[in-house]
Chain A
Amino acid sequence: MKLQIDIGGKKRQVELTQAGGRPVWTIDGRRLEADASEMSPGVYSILINAKAFEVRMERFASELRAMTGGREFRIVIRDEREWRRKRGSTVEAEGRQQVLAPMPGKIVRVLVKTGDAVRAGQGLVVVEAMKMQNEIRTPKSGTIDRVAVVEGQTVTAGEVVAIVS
């Protein structure tokens, strides 16, 4: 099985196959001596050439992150097999990414409109919550497909604020 995984801004081809009943990991064509298994939900212990890494996968609103040893990597997974309509999907297929409000609040400013080109990390709307204002950012670069909120609107956690393609 093969996936394209964007990690820290770099695109990598990650493949898992079988050889002699054992898993074989290949990243960008290079084979790795890796032993990987899930320890508890979302927590993986991975031994690469006997070096031990503990990686925690976390999904926060529309972002997927991998955390290991104090480092954090933003992850986007491209799976050609299917496009899931799940809310909060971090999978890109046909390139559409839902950007969600991470917490309840009020939209105080909309920074983009349909058709605008955006860079990963760019702010799309400003939301006010707990007496603080902050920007909700797009995890990927692309074009604004649709802005789903208007100024003055209240949003709940997990609500779609925009779609970026």
Chain B
Amino acid sequence: MFKKVVIANRGEIAVRIVRACRELGVQAVAVYSDVDRASLHVRLADEAYPIGPAPSRESYLVIEKIIDVARSAGCDAIHPGYGFLAENPALARACVDAGITFIGPSASAMEQLGSKTAARHIARDVGAPTVPGTLDPIENADEAAKIAREIDFPVILKAVAGGGGKGMRSVASESALASAWRDAASEAQNAFGDARLYMEKYLERPRHIEIQVLADHHGHLVYLGERECSVQRRHQKVIEEAPSPFMTPELRKAMGEAAMKLARAGNYTNAGTVEFLVDAQRNFYFLEMNTRLQVEHPVTEMVTSLDLVKLQMRIAAGEPLPFQQEEIELRGHAIECRMYAEDPDNNFFPSPGKILDCRVPAGPGIRLDEGIYAGWTVPNEYDPMLGKLIAWGGDRREAMARMRRALEEYYASGIKTNVSLFRRILASADFEKGAIYTRWLDDFLGAEAGTESRDGGEQEAQAEHAAAIAAFLWHTSQSDGANASTTTATAESQWKSESRREQVNREPQQ
């Protein structure tokens, strides 16, 4: 096992990796930019080194700085976390050159499997299904009809130069193709100045389901089940769960084996995730592979009782996988919510700032992987993710009940968080049934807008009274000369607020 590992990352994942190092008896070395000096990962690490100004391209993304820290601290390995340099083959190569172990796949495996087009070729070579269609532009409507007949309707025409949904038309049958072709081409011409189109099979309400794979340096590969990641806002994952409520044992086996074939063909090692789209008929199609540990790895950990970060380190240190495929058992159900410093009532505008107080939900089945603490200021130079709240239960019903309960307990004051978004999702009938697909949340939020009506009733009226009373007390405590922005109460201020409380309860104020 390594003696010392540099964590080339920040925030909650850096904290996660520090914890794994602790458990393995490995020294954890943190790096921090100028605005991260007070971050939790720095506080928890064994050593910490500054790496420059706040912008990532001047700090966390600078390979030379990371390697320098590793050298001067005498580290034998680097863990890249996710994001930043985690899928950058240049870091993997720089580690090889410096004689330091990169905890992840090799640079060439990253290049082969991490590239969308290269990976699709490998997928086709090993017989893993990909979304049928062409990547090359189609000459004309006649050729389009020919291709559509091959891949079967419904199909979708997409602009070669495109994005943002422009120049796209779904086509249900051949009779609609000619006009769809005309419309999509002219829209593409107007939006991008390029009328060229290509075609894919149209998957109606696809689900995003991904397979976690692990591969050691001794030729052993396993898959650790799947994660359902269909609750997304603008293509960003927001809730993940394991296992998928849509999965069957046969589908899991088929997808798992396809994922492993792909990983093996690319000579993959360490942890990785193969992403698929699954249609309503349970046909699955390879999308892409992520050649790193993922944000949502905790839900897999909860249902397999495995520690993926420690396994990553063991694999990188040359140990063989300590289990076979047959020994992997999925138990119970886990749901993860990504907590962000965002205002859900204001278009999810990021709301970094100083966290005045926060509460960690606890109790049975609750796990919180966070990089925050009361008194810390969320920097605005990075992704405003605060951490992940994970709930595990014996079945999906219990996991949802625990998540709802934990969401009630969760707060971080001084900033806005997206916790109310999750309360709404967990209260929805669709989510309850597991009837979700990749556009579901966007549709749900679109439909919700304008249905803000509160149900009246006694409970509501009393809640309002309670709020009024609290506001009253808060106001009197503010105007009694107390420091308005208290952080954690000191003994002295507690005495003061106690005596103020007594006063409020004792004397009428003029």
Query: In whole angstroms, what is the CA distance A79 to B471 when docked?
Result: 12
Please give me the residue from chain B that is nearest to A134 by CB atom. B349
Whether B347 contacts A40 by the Cβ 8 Å rule is no
* The residue from A18, A53, A102 contacting B466, defined by CB atoms under 8 A apart: A53
Whether A58 contacts B479 by the Cβ 8 Å rule is no
Query: In whole angstroms, what is the CA distance A91 to B413 when docked?
Result: 20
Chain A residues numbered 11-61 whose CB sits less than 8 Å from any CB in chain B: 12, 14, 16-18, 21-23, 25, 27, 32, 34, 36-38, 40-44, 46, 48-49, 51, 53, 55-60
In the assembled complex, the CB of A68 is this many whole angstroms from the nearest CB of chain B, namely: 5
User: Of A69-77, A111-119, A143-151, which binds chain B?
Assistant: A69-77
Whether A79 contacts B475 by the Cβ 8 Å rule is yes
Chain B residues numbered 433-480 whose CB sits less than 8 Å from any CB in chain A: 454, 460, 462-477, 479
Whether A38 contacts B467 by the Cβ 8 Å rule is no
- Cβ-based interface call for B352 (8 A): yes
Query: In whole angstroms, what is the CA distance A132 to B350 when docked?
Result: 8
Please give me the residue from chain A that is nearest to B380 by CB atom. A130
Which residues of chain A have C-beta atoms less than 8 A from B353's C-beta? 102-103, 157
Whether B468 contacts A70 by the Cβ 8 Å rule is no
A contact residues, total (Cβ < 8 Å): 63
In the assembled complex, the CB of A99 is this many whole angstroms from the nearest CB of chain B, namely: 14
* The residue from A43, A46, A130 contacting B469, defined by CB atoms under 8 A apart: A46
- Cβ-based interface call for B429 (8 A): no
Q: Mark interface residues in B132-146 (1 if CB within 8 Å of A CB, else 0).
A: 000000000000000
* The residue from B350, B469, B507, B508 contacting A129, defined by CB atoms under 8 A apart: B350
* The residue from A8, A34, A57, A102 contacting B474, defined by CB atoms under 8 A apart: A57
Query: In whole angstroms, what is the CA distance A8 to B504 when docked?
Result: 25
Which residues of chain B have C-beta atoms less than 8 A from A132's C-beta? 349-350
* The residue from B350, B462, B471, B508 contacting A7, defined by CB atoms under 8 A apart: B471
Name, among B474, B477, B510, the residue most crowded by chain A CB atoms within 10 Å (CB to CB). Answer: B474
In the assembled complex, the CB of A113 is this many whole angstroms from the nearest CB of chain B, namely: 23
Whether B346 contacts A68 by the Cβ 8 Å rule is no
Chain B residues numbered 332-357 whose CB sits less than 8 Å from any CB in chain A: 346-347, 349-353, 356-357
Whether B462 contacts A51 by the Cβ 8 Å rule is yes
Whether B479 contacts A34 by the Cβ 8 Å rule is no
A55-B467, A66-B467 given as contacts; is B472 within 8 A of A16 (CB)? yes
Which residues of chain A have C-beta atoms less than 8 A from B307's C-beta? none
- Cβ-based interface call for B88 (8 A): no
Please give me the residue from chain B that is nearest to A41 by CB atom. B486
- Cβ-based interface call for A5 (8 A): yes
In the assembled complex, the CB of A63 is this many whole angstroms from the nearest CB of chain B, namely: 10
Whether B413 contacts A58 by the Cβ 8 Å rule is yes
Whether B504 contacts A23 by the Cβ 8 Å rule is yes
Q: Mark interface residues in B404-437 (1 if CB within 8 Å of A CB, else 0).
A: 0000100101111000100100000000000000
Instruction: Please give 12 more A-B residue pairs, beta carbons under 8 A apart, in addition to A68-B467, A102-B351.
Output: A3-B472, A5-B471, A36-B473, A38-B473, A38-B477, A44-B469, A44-B470, A60-B351, A71-B463, A77-B472, A79-B475, A79-B479
A-to-B contact residues, CB < 8 Å: 1, 3, 5, 7-8, 12, 14, 16-18, 21-23, 25, 27, 32, 34, 36-38, 40-44, 46, 48-49, 51, 53, 55-60, 64, 66-73, 75, 77, 79, 82, 84, 86, 88, 91, 102-104, 129-130, 132, 134-135, 137, 157
Instruction: List 8 A-B residue pairs with CB atoms under 8 Å apart, sorted by A's residue number.
Output: A14-B472, A18-B506, A23-B505, A44-B474, A55-B466, A57-B474, A77-B471, A134-B346
